[in-house]
Chain A
Amino acid sequence: MKFKLSDGAKTILHVVNALLWIWLIIASWSKDEGLLKITFFVLPFIVFFYLLMGIEKRNEVKAPVPLFYPAIVLFIVWVVSFALVLSYRGVSVDTSSFILGMHPSMAAALLIFWVGNLLTTALSYVVFFDESVDEKEWEDFLNEVNKYQKLK
């Protein structure tokens, strides 16, 4: 399955990301807890859109790899980890509720955000490297580039 991502759509995504960056600055400047909590859930969009533009080839994105895994899984990992980190933030929990010796909020950060992210980005890159660039695509690229003199 393939989804189209035209040059026009990519331009729109860059503009959207620029606006999200502006949102981040406004929220940070305001120091408003409510806005800042929303901003945590703006971050996954920024990350997802840049990844989309990295994984597309010839204006198409393939599914399920790399669109669902790693891109959408990465988005979910970010959303879930932030939701848990923020909901347990500063909460005094009984130490018997600690997960692997960690406060639940810290456990969400380390086990879901950190390990989950590594399993999403790093593992997918190794297992599905050909979805990033395969031999035939690279050969085609070299053939095309070799038609020209090296740029000075």
Chain B
Amino acid sequence: MKIISRVLPFFITLLSFSSVFAQDKKLTEQMETNTFTVVYTIIFLLISVLLGVWASKKAKTAEGFFGGTKSFGPITIGLASMAALMSAFGFVGGPGLVYKLGFSSIWMTIACGPGFAYAYWVLGKRMRAMAEVTSVATLPDIARVRYQSQAIRAIFAFGLLIAAIAYLSSQMKGAAMTLAQMLGVSEKWAIVIFMGVMLIFLLKAGMAASIVTDAFQGLVMLIGVFSVVIGFFVLTKGDAMIAIANAPNLGPKYVDGIGAAPLQTIITFIIVFFVFVMSQSTMLSKMYTVKSYKGLKQAGLLSGVTYAMASLVWILVGYGALYLLSQGRIEPLQKADNAAFVFLNALESPIIATLVMASLFAATISTASYFLTLSSSSITRDMLGAFGIELSQEKQIFWGRIIMVLIALLSIGFAYWGSDMVAILGTLGWGFFASVNFPTLTLGLIWKKTSREGVLTGIILAIILNIVLAILDKSGIYRLPFPYYTLSIVVSIVATVFVSLFTKGASGDNLPEPIKPIFKL
């Protein structure tokens, strides 16, 4: 506390006076590089590498390398969960949507924060318990053991692989552009540095490195959040909502609790982003990485509270940009995603801009490192295993590293030279994981009657529907009046529940004996 009370005032003063360094400039949508930014970025990257290398002592086995299973304390897991779940979208896309629609998109992020502890109440102890029943390294490991089915393992892993690669590819350009701005280098060099750094720590320690660096990146994100909060109140003096409500070009629609999106979209945002936190791979896999079950307690609290703090960026940056518009300080933006950049420029503080840009980059690298490891384990461990090719621990790690490099290169290729299909599939994310993971893992661990046949039906429908609906939606051939992933989630849940009612594979009394005690917890 003593250290905090000394450092905090210094930090606030530093941020307040940092505008002295700022040059006189109009509010643009481009950031400028300066020495502080470059130094901060290099230190950030170096610490990430060092932490990743340190984590290698936890990655001696396949379980450690691909899962980090039972290896970490609650603070690391709490921060890492938040960092991995809060992607760059929360720092750029989210504020952009607030600029465009008012409060509507904020429901996603304010539902998600409390959804963490809800997930721990519903599922935490049972996911952690699975690590006592079997050697867990990946989520498909759990599915295989719960349903005694290599088919479910293969299909599940295939689904995760598609979504992970699509996600990685869609993030690649954004990450490179952010890093290029921060270091003042070309986009080509930025991608080499970004991938290089990530691969150094991932090749060394896989998921163990991803978790440790995620926790550090979570801290960096929180520093960014802190500076955004200060920046927002310095800029608006707390009058943002009143100014927006009174502005003739904006009005009450932008400051009420619904915004401009239709009600059906708001309903989807609320329920999908609250309930299905417990179905995100980044979240589920953290539940079995806590060393002791007691660690779930702090991890559940910390992940939700820190995520809620990170949500402030989404809310305040978006409303900060609307405030600037209400004051006539910016022209209406051609591209809503630039809301974050005009807000940062308006603060005229290179230090705040740097801290927030570093947060944005941290959000990207933390999520990307998780998905790169996930893609590698899906092939090396799960899909090969499902086809009867069970590699030894050493070979799994060896091939896991090679596959990681190949997938990294593939993602860069897709990002820069991919077809429109990649851009379309890049939208597979939250909804995809919800529709595949919820029936398989959540229902499977809270309802004994969830059967092998039910889950197979549910996840096959989920994968097909997600891809078909994404193509129809993004190509404009057919658009549902609500986010398309809602339909695939509901179909997969309904199919799993109703097929399970009439089938018995690995359910009820047919559950494997070691799984039965989990349902007594």
> B123, B251, B268, B297 — which one has the most chain A CB atoms within 10 A of its CB?
B297
B9 interface hit (Cβ, 8 Å) = no
Q: How distant is the Cα of A103 from the Cα of B480 in the complex, in angstroms?
A: 31
Q: Which of B264-279 contact A (CB under 8 A)?
A: 264, 267-268, 270-271, 274-275
**Chain B residue contacts of A126, Cβ below 8 A:** 297-298, 300-301
B241 interface hit (Cβ, 8 Å) = yes
A41 to chain B, nearest CB (A): 11
Q: Out of B114, B297, B498, B514, which one reaches A151, CB within 8 Å?
A: B514
Q: How distant is the Cα of A117 from the Cα of B271 in the complex, in angstroms?
A: 13
| B481 pairs with A29, CB closer than 8 A | yes
Q: How distant is the Cα of A125 from the Cα of B498 in the complex, in angstroms?
A: 32
**Given A95-B245, A150-B133: A110 touches B110 (CB 8 Å cut-off):** yes
| B497 pairs with A14, CB closer than 8 A | yes
**Chain A residue contacts of B129, Cβ below 8 A:** 141, 145
**Given A36-B264, A103-B245, A122-B300: A145 touches B133 (CB 8 Å cut-off):** yes
A106 interface hit (Cβ, 8 Å) = yes
Q: How distant is the Cα of A125 from the Cα of B304 in the complex, in angstroms?
A: 11
Q: Which of B452-495 contact A (CB under 8 A)?
A: 480-482, 486-487, 489-490, 493-494
A95 to chain B, nearest CB (A): 5
| B497 pairs with A15, CB closer than 8 A | yes
B89 interface hit (Cβ, 8 Å) = no
| A145 pairs with B514, CB closer than 8 A | yes
B447 interface hit (Cβ, 8 Å) = yes
**Chain A residue contacts of B162, Cβ below 8 A:** none
**Chain B residue contacts of A36, Cβ below 8 A:** 263-264, 267
The total of Cβ contacts below 8 Å across the A-B interface reads 231
A78 to chain B, nearest CB (A): 9
**Chain B residue contacts of A15, Cβ below 8 A:** 497-498, 501
**Chain B residue contacts of A148, Cβ below 8 A:** 513-514
> B267, B498, B512 — which one has the most chain A CB atoms within 10 A of its CB?
B267
A137 to chain B, nearest CB (A): 6
A144 to chain B, nearest CB (A): 4
| A28 pairs with B124, CB closer than 8 A | no
**Chain A residue contacts of B245, Cβ below 8 A:** 92, 95, 98, 103
Chain B, interface size category, equals: 35 or more
B353 interface hit (Cβ, 8 Å) = no
Q: Name the CB-closest residue of A to B483.
A: A28
**Chain B residue contacts of A113, Cβ below 8 A:** 110-111
Q: How distant is the Cα of A44 from the Cα of B298 in the complex, in angstroms?
A: 26
B-contact 0/1 string along A97-140, CB 8 Å cutoff: 01001110111111001100110111111100100110001100
| B521 pairs with A133, CB closer than 8 A | yes
Q: Out of A84, A102, A144, which one reaches B241, CB within 8 Å?
A: A102
**Chain A residue contacts of B103, Cβ below 8 A:** 106, 109
B256 interface hit (Cβ, 8 Å) = yes
Mark A residues whose CB is within 8 Å of B: 7, 10-11, 14-15, 17-18, 21-22, 24-25, 27-29, 31, 33, 36-37, 39-40, 43, 46-47, 50-51, 53-55, 57-58, 66, 70, 74, 84-86, 88-93, 95, 98, 101-103, 105-110, 113-114, 117-118, 120-126, 129, 132-133, 137-138, 141-142, 144-145, 148-152
Mark B residues whose CB is within 8 Å of A: 103, 106-107, 110-111, 113-118, 120-125, 129, 132-135, 145, 238-242, 245-246, 251-253, 255-258, 262-264, 267-268, 270-271, 274-275, 293-294, 296-298, 300-301, 304-305, 308, 443, 446-449, 480-482, 486-487, 489-490, 493-494, 497-498, 501, 512-515, 517-518, 520-521
A29-B264, A95-B242, A117-B113 known; 19 new pairs, CB 8 Å cut-off, are A7-B448, A11-B447, A24-B486, A28-B481, A29-B482, A37-B263, A47-B275, A90-B252, A95-B245, A102-B255, A103-B255, A106-B241, A110-B257, A124-B117, A126-B298, A129-B294, A129-B296, A129-B297, A145-B514
